[in-house]
């Protein structure tokens, strides 16, 4: 039990560090997100499951419609991307795309195992008698997902984050 508490504490600390590092990394050296957005392209990537993600942040334009009674002002998206919003939104959106991949992998595996599954954001549910089985599946899918070269491709992560995921099983 002490090992589990220690692991949870270390994981929470490292996740906070990871979040800070992602933000710092994108704000400093490569500025790749800013370069992409400055070329008027939305930031896009594929999740580990192959789902394409495109950040939708575009500048708003105003369109005036004059009638005999009034002038209506409508907002609509322009073709110009919001550079700052593209840059600042990437870290949380990327992490959410990984969370969604993990949930989908878990849901599919639960269905194959004959378990009922429900989930919202990062909360997973099943019938009480199936909790242990879902817990096993959840961990297996976590290891499978993060065993892919996802974290290694984010060069700002500290090497201590790249620990042996098999220890979670």
Over the stretch 22-56, which tens digit does the pLDDT of each residue have?
454 444 434 677 777 788 888 888 899 989 999 99
**Of the ranges 81-90, 108-117, 123-132, which one carries the lowest mean pLDDT score?**
81-90
With respect to residue 8, please indicate whether it lies within any of the assigned structural domains.
Answer: no
Q: How many domains does the chain have?
A: 1
Half-sphere exposure of 23 (CA within 13 A, CB side): 9
Cα separation of 141 and 139, whole Å? 5
**Of the ranges 46-50, 105-109, 132-136, which one carries the lowest mean pLDDT score?**
46-50
Q: Binning pLDDT at 50, 70 and 90, where does residue 12 land?
A: low
Q: Is 79 helix (H, G, I), strand (E, B) or coil?
A: strand
**Of the ranges 12-21, 90-99, 107-116, 156-165, which one carries the lowest mean pLDDT score?**
156-165
Q: Which alpha helices (DSSP H) does the chain contain, by range?
A: 2-27, 32-38, 83-112, 131-146
The 10s digit of each residue's pLDDT in 97-106 is 999 999 999 9
In the chain, the percentage of residues whose pLDDT exceeds 70 is: 70
Cα separation of 71 and 3, whole Å? 67
The parent domain of residue 159 ranges over 18-168
What integer pLDDT is reported at residue 154 of this predicted model? 54
What integer pLDDT is reported at residue 20 of this predicted model? 53
What integer pLDDT is reported at residue 146 of this predicted model? 87
With respect to residue 63, please indicate whether it lies within any of the assigned structural domains.
Answer: yes
Q: Binning pLDDT at 50, 70 and 90, where does residue 165 land?
A: low
Annotated catalytic residue: which of 79, 99, 122, 132? 122
With respect to residue 4, please indicate whether it lies within any of the assigned structural domains.
Answer: no
Is residue 122 flagged as an active site residue? yes
Average pLDDT, the chain: 80
With respect to residue 6, please indicate whether it lies within any of the assigned structural domains.
Answer: no
């Amino acid at each position: 039990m002490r090992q589990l508490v220690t692991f949870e504490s270390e994981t929470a600390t490292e996740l906070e560090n990871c979040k800070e590092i992602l933000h710092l990394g994108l704000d400093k050296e490569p500025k790749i997100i800013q370069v992409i957005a400055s070329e008027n392209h939305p930031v896009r990537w594929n999740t580990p499951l192959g789902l394409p993600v495109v950040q939708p942040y575009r500048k708003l334009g105003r369109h005036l419609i004059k009638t005999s009674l009034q002038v209506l002002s409508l907002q609509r998206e322009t073709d110009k991307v919001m550079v700052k919003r593209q840059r600042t939104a990437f870290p949380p959106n990327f992490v959410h795309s990984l969370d969604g991949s993990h949930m989908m992998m878990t849901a599919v595996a639960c269905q194959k195992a004959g378990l009922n599954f429900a989930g919202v954001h990062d909360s997973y549910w099943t019938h009480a008698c199936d909790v242990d089985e879902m817990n096993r599946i959840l961990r297996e899918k976590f290891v499978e997902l993060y065993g892919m070269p996802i974290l290694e491709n984010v060069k700002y992560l500290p090497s201590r984050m790249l620990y042996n995921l098999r220890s979670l099983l």
